[in-house]
Amino acid sequence: MADDTKRALVVKDHIIPVAPDLPILDQLLLKGIPVEYQCRAGFCGACRMRLKSGEVRYLETPIAYINEGEVLTCCTVPVSRIVELEADYLKKD
């Protein structure tokens, strides 16, 4: 059964409508958000962001170490209607 719930990511000053089945990293890159990444498979941890609110689901179990409250955007999809993420390299001006 398809999940028709509308979802959005909040990152820096951007509110981005997103799909529930495409990795968050891919969706950020499609919208031109300058996200750091390397492996795209949960190995390196370069795409880590702090999960400020909302819920995500891992498509695959990551190998990279992440701190509590962090997620790897390369292998997660949004579960909750709104997911708010933050990264030091995306600080507001």
Q: What is the pLDDT of residues 3-38, one digit of tens each?
A: 667 889 998 888 999 999 999 999 999 999 988 999
Of 54, 9, 62, nearest to 35 by C-alpha is 9
Q: Is residue 66 part of a domain?
A: yes
65 CB neighbour count, 10 Å cutoff: 8
Residue 23 lies in a domain: yes
Query: Is residue 1 situated within a structural domain?
Result: no
pTM > 0.75: yes or no: yes
At residue 71, the 3 state secondary structure works out as strand
Residue 32 counted as domain residue: yes
pLDDT digit string (tens) for 39-64? 999 999 999 999 999 999 999 999 99
Lowest mean pLDDT segment, chosen from 64-68, 76-80, 89-93: 89-93
Q: What pLDDT is stored for residue 3 in this prediction?
A: 63
Residue 59's Cβ-count burial label (10 Å; 0-12, 13-18, 19+) is middle
The parent domain of residue 53 ranges over 7-90
- Give the chain's domain count: 1
pLDDT at 1: 45
Token pair for 19: 């799909």
Q: Which two tokens stand for residue 9?
A: 């990511």
CATH number of the domain to which 41 belongs: 3.10.20.30
